[in-house]
Amino acid sequence: MTFKNTYGFAEELDNQDDLKGFRDEFYFPQHQGENKIYFTGNSLGLMPKRAKEALQQELDDWAKLGVDGHFDAKNPWFSYHELFKTSLAEVVGAKPLEVTPMGGLTSNLHFLMVSFYQPKGKRVKLLCEGKAFPSDQYALETQVKFHGLDPSETIVELHPREGEVGIRKEDILRKIEELGDELALVMIGGVNYYTGQVFPMEEITKAGHEVGAVVGFDLAHAAGNVKLELHKWGVDFAAWCSYKYLNSGPGSVAGIFVHERHSESAELKRFAGWWGTPSDGRFQMTKGFIPAPGSDAWQLSNAPVLSMAVHKVALDLHLEAGVDNLIEKQKKLTSYLEFVLKDLSDRLPSVKLTVITPKERGSQLSILTEGSGKDLFNKMTDLGVVADWREPNVIRVAPVPMYNSFMDVFNFGQIIEKSLEELK
């Protein structure tokens, strides 16, 4: 398709968009009586309008039933997480047995690494991407220390080549092969939070398994954003949050994936809780942990129903739109955004905006700014753009296919141009 940076062309793309109606399912922050251009779904997704009704249902049942709501509520709380296992599985490419909404992202990573990072003999190394999100860095560092090992000697970081931004696939695979029988765990973010690069998860998993390592992913920036086939790829485990592209609210319940081949492994160590036992015997209060089937065995505590109510609504919207349809629109949206940015650079010699996100990407584009980048960001914010600034000089923007439009992209370009003019 040949793009044009014009109002009419953006309007035409929106008219052709089969998913345009989903925009009306969300609340937008306002600027001078108009919707803000909300391009930060990579940090916090917008609120689904259906969330109010879903929350009210659980609040009403709590008011009327008290503790009896665990079994007598319209959506019984005792088994609440089972209501949307199928939809959650579809979003991440898994079987329902393999996914569980629970806890928070970093705590879930810790619980999973208790089981899947088991250094022994010379097989102790842990491979991750350099400059991972700080929470991941802290989790990996402390897991290594928990086993009495030195992080500086045990954690191996992958970095781009000099002068490059993304990490090359061949460098990742080569490092896995090089570490060989010293490699215990590969734990990489499926999408890098800073650059927006999508890593080749299927090939990483295959390479890791070929040298006898376990492979897991932090999918905070991948779940609901890129096409995932966790079961098919053979990934051992994964964890994600739900408040970014899954639009489930600030600090909402996270989720985990554990491949079914591990579901009945007696050798796996766990930090257990009573909600990780089979539901039919949970109230017998017996001594001795017996794991529930599948990923439910990693649950510790009962379901946070209020956040799960919103999570269920958001997942329903994803399935109504269709995962593949969202991915198709996403590719067109980000391509149009990249075109608009290039058009600005071509027409305005003073503009120095460089997209550092590679073609292997999801919704996010990271824009390297030069000179007065922070001033530009602040001016755009004043004019109604919600984006994200990352030190020292990157603006992250993410046009989300569920609720963003092509007109949003066009108007974003217009605001950049106006901001630059006002900053002269």
Single out the residue of 225, 286, 236 nearest to residue 258, CA to CA. Answer: 236
CATH number of 53-321: 3.40.640.10
The reported pLDDT for the residue numbered 64 is 98
Spatial neighbors of 41 by CB under 8 A, at least 6 apart, are 244, 245, 247, 363, 398, 400, 402, 403, 404
pLDDT tens track for 163-217: 999 999 999 999 999 999 999 999 999 999 999 999 999 999 999 999 999 999 9
Determine the distance from the C-alpha atom of residue 133 to the mean position of all C-alpha atoms in its chain, rounded to a whole number.
12
The reported pLDDT for the residue numbered 288 is 86
The reported pLDDT for the residue numbered 348 is 80
CA–CA dist 266, 158 (Å, integer): 33
**Domain ranges across the chain:** 7-35+322-422, 53-321
What is the per-residue DSSP string for 362-374? Answer: SS-EEEEE-SSHH
Single out the residue of 270, 247, 279, 307 nearest to residue 44, CA to CA. Answer: 247
Q: Is the peptide bond before 134 cis (omega within 30 degrees of 0)?
A: no
Place of tokens 């319940």: 253
The reported pLDDT for the residue numbered 22 is 98
Topology, domain 7-35+322-422: Aspartate Aminotransferase, domain 1 (3.90.1150)
Per-residue model confidence as pLDDT tens for the chain (424 residues)? 899 999 999 999 999 999 999 999 999 999 999 999 999 999 999 999 999 999 999 999 999 999 999 999 999 999 999 999 999 999 999 999 999 999 999 999 999 999 999 999 999 999 999 988 889 999 999 999 999 999 999 999 999 999 999 999 999 999 999 999 999 999 999 999 999 999 999 999 999 999 999 999 999 999 999 999 999 999 999 999 999 999 999 999 999 999 999 987 777 898 999 888 888 887 888 888 888 999 999 999 999 999 999 999 999 999 999 999 999 999 999 999 999 999 998 888 777 889 999 999 999 999 998 767 899 999 999 999 999 999 888 999 999 999 999 999 999 999 999 998 888 7
**Other CB atoms within 10 Å distance of the CB of residue 107:** 14
Polymer length in residues for the chain: 424
**Other CB atoms within 10 Å distance of the CB of residue 413:** 19
